[in-house]
Chain A
Amino acid sequence: MELTRRKILALGSSTFALASLTSLPVFASTTDDEIAALTGGAELGEGAITLTAPEIAENGNTVPIAFDAPGAVEVTLFADGNPVPNVATFKFGPLSASRSASTRIRLATTQDVVAIAKMEDGSFQTAKANVKVTIGGCGG
């Protein structure tokens, strides 16, 4: 696909707000490598943390993301379709009342947002949410 994001937005101003033309997570392998580096290749459990993200982004430039990870000492967020997938790392001390946070991130295209939590016992947990970036088109 030859259209760059800037060209798309320029076209979009007269037609559709097309923010994304592809759902290919081209940076997914980078994300996998970074996760492996973070966990040392340890197995990732699922179910202990919740990741809340919109199914379809209202604005790909500022997508609200929240997680709740009871028992986590460190949570790292990845956006696997972004040029720089590593978004942020949140650290929690023993006195942290809740191991949760919310932030907004920019998503270049339809992609998975991945949370990796390092737990108090040294194990790792993960949660994933697919966020679609779309042009829309109405409806009822």
Chain B
Amino acid sequence: MISRRDFLQVGMAASAIVGASGFGNWARLAAQQSLTQDQLLEFETFGNVSLIHVTDIHAQLKPIYFREPSENIGVGSNKGAVPHVTGEQFRNLYGIQDGSPSHYALSSGDFSSLAKTYGRVGGLDRVATVIKAIRAERPDAILLDGGDTWHGSYTCFKTAGQDMVNVMNALNPDAMTFHWEFTLGSERVNEIVESLPFAALGQNIFDVEWDEPTELFPPYKMFERGGTKVAVIGQAFPYMPIANPGWMFPEYAFGIRDENMQAMVDEVRAEGAECVVVLSHNGFDVDKKMATVVDGIDVILSGHTHDALPEPVLSGKTIIVPSGSNGKFVSRVDLDIRNGQMLGYRHKLIPIFSDVIEPDAEVSALIDEQRAPYLAEMSEVVGKTDSLLYRRGNFNGTWDDLICDALLSERDAEIALSPGVRWGPSLIPGQDITREDIFNVTSMSYGQAYRTEMTGEFLKAVLEDVADNIFNPDPYYQQGGDMVRTGGLGYRIDIGQPQGSRISNLTLLNSGEAVDPTRSYVVAGWASVNEDTEGPQIWDVVENHIRKLGTVTAKPNNSVEVIGA
């Protein structure tokens, strides 16, 4: 692991990179109780090129609460390395004061009380203000969207992504790459992409029939900025047809394709690029490995695994900049590029405190225009929560516990399975739960809640398979995301074992009896990648359950015993 101190030293010695981030100041500002927009945006313009990175917005147009994970286990060479450091350890690592705004923005712990102090985060009208402020200082700053933009909300679901397209277009991005967008189905994705006023990039988006690059998704785009040529290469999520329903976009193939990435880097360098930026939806650990396999990448703007770090991480000679999720952060990276080389950078991860940053009036109006036709139906209050509802965590979160409970009771099942996705805002104790809130954590184009039978042996195989997608020590075999959530079923997981040997002690929580490999169990779940999955939509299942409960109270969940982490 590269510690903060090592990183700074490596950065200085290896390539005379000047690292200077805006981190460390917020705690002081908190002490003054005077966080202002100017302070959040404070940045001494540096070098000759500016990059602005947003990623994994998941259609969150409005400010939300978002709790960062308290558990994020790293494996192999990434054990104990960021972003696999959480809570107090994270704050100690970066020198963040307890109770400060950066504590609230970047780490878990005390979330509910800090949420009351610091308020909601995100909102694309606030993001617009930040982007405009950066452009006021550097008019030709390059705005890059890392994808997972056209997915994740009520209005996005109802408009098949059009709300997000309309609002993002108003921000004038220069390029974008993709993941969940493809779950709109290839016909819709193609239709939107053909109309985009900016580049839709993916060096790893291939035609499935001939395994050749596609015309619609070029690998890279060249920008001339500040007297220098900057190439931006797109890297879409590599495992889309595996992690999401491939039948929805059967014309496309993906994969990491680092050999093609190297070929593209060589090609843009030959065309005169003095700086190579990869706009990536690989996930952090995959990016870190790719930076050591592919030569010649200066900056990777990293998405997919929803990590937010106050400083870039150096891997090989590449800096990796992860920019969080759900509209919570904007990264600004200024680069000094001279004589065909990146000589230095300055970076700031700007947290979008929605009560501090003034919304951009024009974009606010545009957002409200998208929401207006659906406002009445999605604002309907379904229930209330006494507890913090959040999603992030390797094995469970209170939102997923609630979803699993809903599946068990509404679908009359013994065991529930819920996908380990990382998107979805949090609700703090005392908040009403609206239909929109439920869609924020469930909305997708394949939300059918199935009911089926699985043997104990098959259930173990499912858990083993998913665990290896997360805990395989080689990042190239990881798909991002977290462990499938289980309701009614407890188990032990030994992280360090190989596939087939991690999962043991499967137990039915109701009776405490061991799961019988040969017996069949009634299982309810949702988000199957299979075509023709039948069942009611998960958001209806969850809504019915919450209506019956009235007020949701989260119970402690100790159903997964983790060893070897």
Contact = CB atoms under 8 A, between A and B. Distances in A.
Interface of A: 1-3, 11-18, 20-23, 50, 52, 54-56, 58-59, 64, 102, 110, 132, 134-140
A140 B148 contact: yes
A59 B303 contact: no
A9 to B, nearest CB: 10
A14 B421 contact: no
A139 B465 contact: no
Interface string B417-447: 0011111000000000000000000000000
Interface residues of B, number: 60
Given A58-B253, A135-B465, A139-B481, A15 B452 contact: yes
- Classify the secondary structure of A's interface with B: loop
A14 B253 contact: no
A59 B241 contact: yes
Contacts of A59: 241, 246
25 contacts: A2-B457, A14-B452, A14-B530, A18-B462, A23-B499, A54-B255, A54-B256, A55-B255, A55-B474, A55-B476, A58-B242, A64-B253, A132-B468, A134-B469, A135-B466, A136-B239, A138-B481, A139-B237, A139-B243, A139-B283, A139-B422, A140-B148, A140-B281, A140-B283, A140-B421
Given A23-B499, A138-B420, 5 more contacts: A14-B452, A55-B476, A58-B246, A139-B179, A139-B420
Contacts of A55: 238, 255-256, 474, 476-477
A134 B255 contact: no
Interface string B494-514: 000011100000000000000
Nearest to B419: A138
A55 to B, nearest CB: 5
A83 B22 CA distance: 58
B528 interface: yes
Nearest to A23: B499
A58 B421 CA distance: 20
Contacts of B466: 135, 137
A56 B476 CA distance: 9
A138 B421 contact: yes
Given A11-B454, A58-B253, A58-B254, A16 B528 contact: yes
A94 to B, nearest CB: 27
Contact of A134 (B208, B211, B242): B242
A47 to B, nearest CB: 15
A42 B94 CA distance: 55
Given A13-B530, A23-B500, A55-B477, A140 B422 contact: yes
A23 to B, nearest CB: 6
Interface in B449-478: 450, 452, 454, 457-458, 461-462, 465-466, 468-469, 474, 476-477
Contact of A12 (B305, B476, B530): B530
Contacts of A58: 208, 241-242, 246, 253-255
A29 to B, nearest CB: 19
B503 to A, nearest CB: 13
B529 interface: yes
A52 B243 contact: no
B295 to A, nearest CB: 16
B423 A140 contact: yes
A20 B498 CA distance: 15
Nearest to A66: B211
Contacts of A56: 239, 242, 255, 477, 479
Given A16-B530, A58-B253, A134 B465 contact: yes
A44 B241 CA distance: 36
Nearest to A53: B255
A17 B479 CA distance: 16
B362 interface: no
Contacts of B499: 23, 110
